[in-house]
Amino acid sequence: MIHYFDTLIIGSGLAGLRAAIEASRHGSVAVLTKLYPTRSHSGAAQGGISAALGNEEPDSPEWHFYDTTKGSDFLGDQDAIGIMCEDAIRTIVELEHMGVPFSRTPEGKIAQRRFGGHTRDFGAAPVRRACYSADRTGHAILFALYEQSELQGVASFPEFQVLDIVIENGRCSGALVLDIQSGDLHTFNAKATLVASGGYGRVFKTTSNALASTGDCLSILFDGGIPLEDMECFQFHPTGLYGLGILITEGARGEGGILVNGKGERFMERYAPTIKDLAPRDMVSRAIMTEIREGRGVDGKDFVHLDLRHVDKKIIEERLPEISTFCKIYMGIDPSENPIPVLPTAHYAMGGIPTDVDGRVLGDEKGATIEGLYAAGECACVSVHGANRLGCNSLLDTVVFGRRAGMAIGGYIKDADRREIAKGPSDRVKADMNALVNSTGDEKAGALRSEFRKMMMDRCSVFRNEEGLAGLVQDLKTIKERTKYVGIKDRGAQFNTELLEALELNHLINLGEAIALSALQRKESRGAHSREDFPERDDENWLKHTFAFKTGRGIEFRYKPVTITRFKPEERKY
Ligand SMILES: Cc1cc2nc3c(=O)[nH]c(=O)nc-3n(C[C@H](O)[C@H](O)[C@H](O)COP(=O)(O)OP(=O)(O)OC[C@H]3O[C@@H](n4cnc5c(N)ncnc54)[C@H](O)[C@@H]3O)c2cc1C
C-alpha cells in the first residue's frame, strides 16, 4: 500500500507524540510504531521530569543549566542545554494543561523531589527539581500526549515496523514499513520524516530497557551514510534489580534511600561527600562497581543494597508504589522491611543521531543538514546530556525538542513539494525480506543475540580498557559473520516475530560496533565513558564530540567542537 502524508513520525513515545501534536497544526501526520502506541518505553519512566519550578524550595533555570552541564562532564552543548532548562517551566505547565496528573504538595502545587546531580547554588546541596506522578511519571505523560494527538486527528499506525528510511539525493522522502499483522509492505511518502524511535539498551545483557529498544532506525540511518554522535557515551543506572536489571528509580534515593555495601557502610560518603547518594549516575555506578571489585559486595557477591527501611512507610506507599510492587513480585521482598539488592543496569543512550536545536538531522560534523529529515528524543543527540545524563532530564529533552522539531517541520512543509519514493528502494527491501524469510542456516538469532549482549556487557559497560575493547571489536566481526547463517523456521507473513528478531539482531550488532569502536578511539575518561587505561578527563585533546561514519572502508571518525556559551569546564566534584 502507498500512503502520502505531510509529516511521517517514527515512534510514539513522548518525543514522537509531542512532535506529532505540533506538526498536526500544519498538515497531515502519520505516527508509526512497532508496538501499541502507549506501550512505548516512555511509559516505563518512573521518577520524574525536571524543571526549576521552585515549588518546594528556591530554584532557578540557571542552576539547572549549570547542573546539566557539569553532569554531562562538560561534553553537552550549552546552546541546547540553555534552551532546555529555560523552556522547562513552560513545558511542565503545558503538560499539566494537557491533562498530566502530577503529584501535589499539600497546598495543591506540583510536588517536586530530589534527584541525582540536581543542586541549588551551583552544587551547594541537593534541590527538589523533579516533578512526578508517583513513580509512574512516563505513563502519565504518555497517555496525556496520546489523547491529545488523537484529538488533533493524527493518524496512528500501530504494529508497523520501519524497515528502511529513504534518503535520495540528500533528501528524505519517507519510509518503507512492514505491517506486522498482515506481513504487507507499505510505502509512506512524506515531505518531512521525524525519527523518534527511542533508545537501544538491548545492546547490553543487563538493561532497564524494554524489549523493543533495539535502535533499528539509528542502524538504518548509519547504513545510509548518516553519522552517529558520541556512541561511546552510554549510561548505566546504578540501581537495577540484581540479576534482572529492572529499574529502581533514583526517586527512591530522592525520597531518602541510601546505598550500603557488604560492611554496612554508606559508601557514597567517600565518593561524593557533599551530595552522597544523589551524585550523578556515572559516579554512583562506578562507586558500586569499585566496592564490589574491592570485595565489599553484600555477602561477597556482586551486588550492594539500596536501603529504604528508614523511609516513612506512607511515603513509600504514596510516592514509590510501582517499585515496591516490582520488589515484591520479582524479588519477594518488601522494601520497607528488607534492603533491595541492586547492580548497575544499562539504561540510557546519550549518543545518537546528530541534530541541531530544531531537530534537523546533521549529515556531517560541520553542520550540513539532510533535507526533510528530523530526529528527537533518546535516539537523537542534540546534545544536552553530553557524556552523562542527569535523571529526569530525558523526559524533559523528549518534550522540549519534540515540540521544537514539530514546529520546525511545520515551517518546512509549507513550501516543500510532495515526495515520491522511487521503486528501487522498495524492490531492494522486498528482496532482502524474501531472502531472510527463506534462509535456512544453522545459526539461531536468539542464541547469537545472547552471546552478543554478554560480550558487550563484559567488555564495554561501566569500565572499559584498550585490551577488552580491541578484543570485543574482533569478536563482533565474527558474530556479524555468523548472522549471515541465521535460519528462519517461520515462513508465514503474519506476526512473524522470528523474522523481526533476526532483523533487530542485525541492528543491535551494527550499533554494538559503533559503540565499541567509538569507545576505543576516545582515549580519556569522561562521564559514563570510563577508561581504566586513561582514567583522567583530557580537555586538551578530547573536549569534542565523536562523529562515527560508516564507509566502504569501515567505520571512520571525525570530530565536532563542543559549544560552550556559559560554563567553562571545571573539575567535577560533588
Ligand atoms: C525503566 C526506565 C525508566 C526511566 N525513567 C525516567 C525518568 O524517570 N525520567 C526521565 O527523564 N527519563 C527516564 N527514562 C528515560 C526516558 O524514559 C526515555 O529516554 C524516553 O522516554 C525516550 O522517549 P522517546 O520518545 O525518545 O522513545 P520511546 O518512548 O522509547 O519510544 C520509541 C518508539 O519508537 C518506536 N520504534 C522503534 N523502532 C521502530 C521501528 N523499527 N519501526 C517502528 N517504530 C519503531 C517504538 O515502537 C516506540 O513507539 C527511563 C527509561 C527507562 C527505560
The Å distance, Cα 198 to ligand 1 centre, comes to 4
The Å distance, Cα 293 to ligand 1 centre, comes to 32
The Å distance, Cα 281 to ligand 1 centre, comes to 18
> In sequence order, what DSSP letters do the residues of 269-285 get, joined into one string?
HHH-TTTGGGS-HHHHH
Question: Which residues is 130 bridged to in the sheet?
Answer: 50, 113
The CATH number of 427-534, from 1.10.3080.10, 1.25.40.20, 1.20.58.100, 3.30.390.50, is 1.20.58.100
- Give CA–CA dist 286/282, Å, rounded: 6
Tens-binned pLDDT, residue by residue, of the chain (574 aa): 999 999 999 999 999 999 999 999 999 999 999 999 999 999 999 999 999 999 999 999 999 999 999 999 999 999 999 999 999 999 999 999 999 999 999 999 999 999 999 999 999 999 999 999 999 999 999 999 999 999 999 999 999 999 999 999 999 999 999 999 999 999 999 999 999 999 999 999 999 999 999 999 999 999 999 999 999 999 999 999 999 999 999 999 999 999 999 999 999 999 999 999 999 999 999 999 999 999 999 999 999 999 999 999 999 999 999 999 999 999 999 999 999 999 999 999 999 999 999 999 999 999 999 999 999 999 999 999 999 999 999 999 999 999 999 999 999 999 999 999 999 999 999 999 999 989 989 999 999 999 999 999 999 999 999 999 999 999 999 999 999 999 999 999 999 999 999 999 999 999 999 999 999 999 999 999 999 999 999 999 999 999 999 999 999 999 999 999 999 999 999 9
Q: Which of 244, 395, 400 to mutate to test the pocket of ligand 1 (most atoms within 8 A of CB)?
A: 395
Q: Which amino acid is at 184?
A: D
pLDDT of 135 reads: 93
Atom of ligand 1 nearest to the CA of 142: 29
Report which protein residue has its CA nearest ligand 1's atom 3. 45
Residue 331's contacts (CB-CB under 8 Å, 6 or more residues apart) are 241, 242, 340, 341
Cβ-contact 341, 305 below 8 angstroms: yes
Catalytic residue among 129, 136, 281, 526: 281
The Å distance, Cα 12 to ligand 1 centre, comes to 9
User: Ligand 1: residues within 6 Å at CB?
Assistant: 10-16, 32-35, 40-42, 44-49, 137-138, 160-162, 196-199, 208-209, 212, 216-217, 247, 249, 348, 377-379, 392-395, 398
Atom of ligand 1 nearest to the CA of 199: 30
Report which protein residue has its CA nearest ligand 1's atom 11. 392
Cβ-contact 479, 509 below 8 angstroms: yes
Report which protein residue has its CA nearest ligand 1's atom 35. 11
Cβ-contact 75, 230 below 8 angstroms: yes
The Å distance, Cα 235 to ligand 1 centre, comes to 14
> In sequence order, what DSSP letters do the residues of 204-240 get, joined into one string?
SSSBSS-TT---HHHHHHHHTT--EE-TT-EEEEEEE
pLDDT of 433 reads: 92
Atom of ligand 1 nearest to the CA of 402: 25
Cβ-contact 407, 83 below 8 angstroms: no
pLDDT of 255 reads: 94
The Å distance, Cα 349 to ligand 1 centre, comes to 10
pLDDT of 233 reads: 98
Residue 281 is among the residues annotated as catalytic for this protein: yes
Report which protein residue has its CA nearest ligand 1's atom 13. 45
Q: Which of 14, 41, 381 to mutate to test the pocket of ligand 1 (most atoms within 8 A of CB)?
A: 41
pLDDT of 112 reads: 97
Report which protein residue has its CA nearest ligand 1's atom 2. 45
Instruction: Give the single-character DSSP code of 298.
Output: G
Atom of ligand 1 nearest to the CA of 39: 49
Q: String of b and e for 543-552 (b: at least 16 CB within 10 Å)?
A: bbbbbbbbee
Q: Which of 40, 355, 397 to mutate to test the pocket of ligand 1 (most atoms within 8 A of CB)?
A: 40
Phi (first) and psi of residue 382, to 5 degrees: -95, -25
Closest CA to 127 of 390, 371, 309: 390
The Å distance, Cα 209 to ligand 1 centre, comes to 8
Closest CA to 489 of 479, 502, 475, 471: 502
How far the first Cα of the chain sits from its last, in Å, is 56
The Å distance, Cα 538 to ligand 1 centre, comes to 32
Q: Which of 206, 394, 505 to mutate to test the pocket of ligand 1 (most atoms within 8 A of CB)?
A: 394
What is the CATH class of 248-344? Answer: alpha beta
The domain locations on the chain are 248-344, 427-534
The Å distance, Cα 213 to ligand 1 centre, comes to 7
Atom of ligand 1 nearest to the CA of 196: 26
Report which protein residue has its CA nearest ligand 1's atom 5. 45
pLDDT of 213 reads: 98
pLDDT of 401 reads: 98
